[in-house]
Amino acid sequence: MITSVPLFLFQLAVVLFAAKLGGEICHRYLKQPTVLGELVMGMIIGPYALGGIPLPGIGPLFTPFMSTGAHSTPSNGNELYLIAQVAIILLLFSAGLGTDFRQFFRFAGPASIVALGGEVFSFAFAALVAVAFGLADHFLSPGALFIGAIVGSTSVSIAARVIRDMGKLGTPEGITILAADVIDDVMGILILTVVIGITTIGEFHAVDALLSLGKAVGFWLALTAAGILLAKYIVHFIISFRVAGSAMALALALALFSSGLAEEFGLATIVGAYAIGLALSNTELANILARPMDTLHHIFVPIFFVVMGMLVDFQAVWGVFLFGLAIVVVAIVGKIIGCGLPSLGIGFNWIGAARIGFGMVPRGEVSLIIAGIALTRGLIPSNMFGVAVMLVIFTAVITTVVLPWLFKKGGAGRRT
Amino acid sequence: MITSVPLFLFQLAVVLFAAKLGGEICHRYLKQPTVLGELVMGMIIGPYALGGIPLPGIGPLFTPFMSTGAHSTPSNGNELYLIAQVAIILLLFSAGLGTDFRQFFRFAGPASIVALGGEVFSFAFAALVAVAFGLADHFLSPGALFIGAIVGSTSVSIAARVIRDMGKLGTPEGITILAADVIDDVMGILILTVVIGITTIGEFHAVDALLSLGKAVGFWLALTAAGILLAKYIVHFIISFRVAGSAMALALALALFSSGLAEEFGLATIVGAYAIGLALSNTELANILARPMDTLHHIFVPIFFVVMGMLVDFQAVWGVFLFGLAIVVVAIVGKIIGCGLPSLGIGFNWIGAARIGFGMVPRGEVSLIIAGIALTRGLIPSNMFGVAVMLVIFTAVITTVVLPWLFKKGGAGRRT
């Protein structure tokens, strides 16, 4: 008989090992972002594949995570799920901390047009596909809204990784894509806030929706404002500690607290983590945290992606494979049209617009986070989660193949 | 209504904050080891004090950790307990990795006489006190053995910290104390292995005890030997990974796996963590891990000590306060006699012997780990855990007061 503690230790050991092995194979041999390897390894070791096979004397290493239909309450034994939650809080806190306010505001104008175009087109296309496939009653039902939100957001980490690998971070296209990505992240979180606000009351009723939307957005604004106003005092307090590791531990405590508070106010935890990270960016603390944050990031964030992969129920996904393909297609087309067309209007030529459009194609952590939230709240069927993972994998592969080719095709991307 | 995820996030945030605040107060104002502040903060925020007060809309932040009487299975909602388990695995893995084989063997002879003397006297005195107070039937009953093991072991981290703060690490007394501490650690873990082996069968029956002892020690030796034999290949495999953070994540996975395996074989998890750390010490990997291990250590290990403090049930401790005082006295006397007398025999004078005797007085993580294991297995009553915490706090305070005075009293510690 195996008991809880060793089982948990084995689970954590296997997840860590799988994360690094999958990441390494992707990075070294397939030249793909590590996140893909983590997702695929999660699928392989998950409860619907190898992890579900009973081991002698232990039983299955992993059992399916439960969705409760209400708030994201993991069932007994899902400590891994809680650790993944902490990992994603770490990721979004770090993303907030790392947001360069100056770069953000310099490119905010043109980039936000690009980002908004991509969001609107992808969101609308995906919600329409959901209705067309009979997976949502109408365009504004919770399912359609969540599917739209999943497809709408871009992945900063995957896009940044591919463009950095090509050495094109400094080109006008590179800067525009990254700035639009950052804005997209904020928009994705705002959209998530709005969608959760609307769906918390079950259906779309204008007044109630506006009220809960107002409450959610109000909390988000209040938390960000409080963070920015108090940043000086928070930083002063935290860096006054002399015991080793205090800055990171205290900042993490603050991020966890803000995340818990956000969830209490009907938002997603990550909204709180991102808001407090943003408030503390451009402070002395952000520099102090850079190195320990890096260490924690590389160890814990992969756990999130492996756990996301473990949520994929193959049989269920097979039943919605056509829908999944349709979603992937509109996700790509939505970004190319939604981001490419505005690019033509802000001084780029056709090749530049194509680069920006394809640069905005990859989906990643925000899509998975939104899908995970929708799944645990019972707002999308479990096979939809597999579609989200399919979306992340397909868009990442297409971007890593097409984008280098578009950049190699040469020529300036701006009209002269 | 609060749900599981935010409650867990609030708990973790409060524990991290309390750990660093307590550590800082101890370090900056009381000039005491940070671990004392972490323990006391745990007692203050724990379920038997502030943490047990119901908050509006949330209920109590912490509920008592359950002891199940069997293997250390935490009850539902005790994710914090599992995180503390991972933290202590990290600490012992790091202790194993940091063991300097060369220094260890150079001072092994005299230091092991000092360590053994301290272990034997403290163990025997404490077990006798347990019998005298009627808390154990006889000298070899599980309760007496565990109380002996709790009192027997010295704290490397507290002793090292105090001696380093005095700048006396290089003195013959300093080197002897640290080498004896390291040997004491190994002995503590061996004694724990033996005691668990014996108590797994409930009572002391010579043949069964020897069998389960043999199994436990055999596994320990096999794991250490396998680790040492395979170290070259393990290190080669781990450092071949190019993705950032892989070395630390893979090493951690290995430590968690070994720990789970140890628990499966009837040992404590930390025995596995220490053995695999020892096997990998003096390899290239130990250097690579030093920095990320430091980061993880400073953030997670304090969680263990706060959680240990949270286990203290004040009312229950009050009922055994006299017994606790008796334990503290024999713990001090045991080390002074057990370590001081042999020191006289290996070339130290009276002042040197007194320094070594007092230097071996502080108890710490190993005592708490043993007490925690005994508590979760139902082998000691819950009030005994409070006695262990009392022991750690009292011996640390006495050491930090008396030891600097003994060193200031001046004069060489060795006979010339």
Q: What are the pLDDT digits (tens) for A78-90?
A: 788 889 889 989 9
Tell me how far CA of residue A68 lies from CA of B75, B136, B253, in angstroms: 20, 47, 30
Identify whether the C-beta of residue B246 lies closer than 8 Å to the C-beta of residue A18. Answer: no
Please, what is the angle between helix A34-45 and helix A284-310, to 10°?
Answer: 40
The reported pLDDT for the residue numbered B201 is 59
Domain that holds residue A95: 81-408
The reported pLDDT for the residue numbered B2 is 37
Q: Distance between CA atoms of B113 and B132, rounded to whole angstroms? A: 28
Say if the Cβ atoms of A12 and B256 lie within 8 Å. yes
A79 touches chain B (CB under 8 A): yes
A411 confidence band (pLDDT: 50, 70, 90): confident
In a domain, B415, yes or no: no
Looking at chain B, the whole-number percentage of residues with pLDDT higher than 70 is 88
The reported pLDDT for the residue numbered A4 is 73
Is residue A203 over pLDDT 60? no
B361 confidence band (pLDDT: 50, 70, 90): very high
Please, what is the angle between helix B206-239 and helix B284-310, to 10°?
Answer: 130
**Which of A361-365, B159-163, B328-332 comes out lowest in average pLDDT?**
B159-163
Say if the Cβ atoms of B19 and A261 lie within 8 Å. no
In a domain, B313, yes or no: no
In a domain, A49, yes or no: no
In a domain, A265, yes or no: yes
User: First and final CA of chain B: distance in angstroms?
Assistant: 73
The reported pLDDT for the residue numbered B213 is 66
Contacts of A71 in chain B (CB under 8 A): 3, 5
Q: Which two tokens stand for residue A355?
A: 């680069």
Question: Which range has the top average pLDDT, A122-136, A148-162, B6-20?
Answer: B6-20
The reported pLDDT for the residue numbered A408 is 84
Is residue B74 over pLDDT 80? no
Looking at chain A, the whole-number percentage of residues with pLDDT higher than 90 is 33
Mean pLDDT of the B260-277 span: 82
Is residue A222 over pLDDT 60? yes
| pTM of the complete model | 0.84
Identify whether the C-beta of residue A259 lies closer than 8 Å to the C-beta of residue A265. Answer: no
Mean pLDDT of the B209-232 span: 80
Q: Distance between CA atoms of B151 and B130, rounded to whole angstroms? A: 11
Question: Which range has the top average pLDDT, A116-125, B198-207, B378-387?
Answer: A116-125
Which of B3, B70, B260 minimises the CB distance to A10?
B260
Mean pLDDT of the A259-287 span: 85
Choose, out of A5, A10, A55, A66, the residue to mutate when testing the contact with B (most B CBs < 10 Å): A5
Tell me how far CA of residue B101 lies from CA of B96, B219, B250, in angstroms: 10, 22, 23
3-state secondary structure of A311: coil
The reported pLDDT for the residue numbered A311 is 81
Q: Distance between CA atoms of B70 and B266, rounded to whole angstroms? A: 11
Structurally, how many domains does chain B consist of? Answer: 1
Is residue A67 over pLDDT 60? no
More confident of the two residues A24 and A88: A24
Which residue(s) pair with B55 in the sheet? B59
B230 touches chain A (CB under 8 A): no
Which of A10, A20, A73 minimises the CB distance to B246?
A20
Mean pLDDT of the A347-365 span: 90
Span B139-174, pLDDT tens digits: 777 788 888 889 988 876 677 767 777 777 778 888
**Which of A57-61, A126-130, B301-305, B317-321 comes out lowest in average pLDDT?**
A57-61
Which of B6, B10, B20 minimises the CB distance to A243?
B20
Span A280-319, pLDDT tens digits: 988 999 999 999 999 999 999 899 889 888 888 888 788 8
Mean pLDDT of the B280-307 span: 91
* Cβ-based burial of A297 (10 A; exposed 0-12, middle 13-18, buried ≥19): middle
In B239-353, at which residue ranges do the beta strands (DSSP E only) sit? none
Span A137-157, pLDDT tens digits: 777 777 888 888 899 888 766
Span A234-256, pLDDT tens digits: 999 999 999 989 999 999 999 99
CATH number for the domain spanning A100: value is 1.20.1530.20
In a domain, B63, yes or no: no
Span B9-57, pLDDT tens digits: 999 999 999 999 999 999 899 888 888 899 899 999 999 899 888 888 7
Say if the Cβ atoms of A74 and B4 lie within 8 Å. yes
Is residue B70 over pLDDT 50? no
The reported pLDDT for the residue numbered A249 is 96
Q: Distance between CA atoms of B381 and B399, rounded to whole angstroms? A: 28
In a domain, A34, yes or no: no
**Which of A25-29, B212-216, B224-228 comes out lowest in average pLDDT?**
B212-216
Q: Which residues contact B332 (CB under 8 A, 6 or more apart)?
A: B361, B395, B398
Which of B5, B242, B263 minimises the CB distance to A5?
B263
Is residue B3 over pLDDT 50? no
More confident of the two residues B217 and B319: B319
Q: What mean pLDDT value characterizes chain A?
A: 83
The reported pLDDT for the residue numbered A59 is 81
CA triple B122-B126-B127, angle to 5 deg:
120
A325-341 burial, b at 16+ Cβ within 10 Å, e below that, comes to ebbbebbbebbbbbbbb
B278 confidence band (pLDDT: 50, 70, 90): confident
Place of tokens 């690094």: A20
In a domain, A52, yes or no: no
B66 confidence band (pLDDT: 50, 70, 90): low
Say if the Cβ atoms of B4 and A73 lie within 8 Å. yes
The reported pLDDT for the residue numbered A71 is 37
- For chain A, counts of helices (H) and of strands (E): 17, 0
Q: Distance between CA atoms of B243 and A88, rounded to whole angstroms? A: 19
Please, what is the angle between helix B365-376 and helix B382-408, to 10°?
Answer: 170
In a domain, B127, yes or no: yes
The reported pLDDT for the residue numbered A74 is 42
Mean pLDDT of the B115-133 span: 91
Q: Distance between CA atoms of B72 and B146, rounded to whole angstroms? A: 16
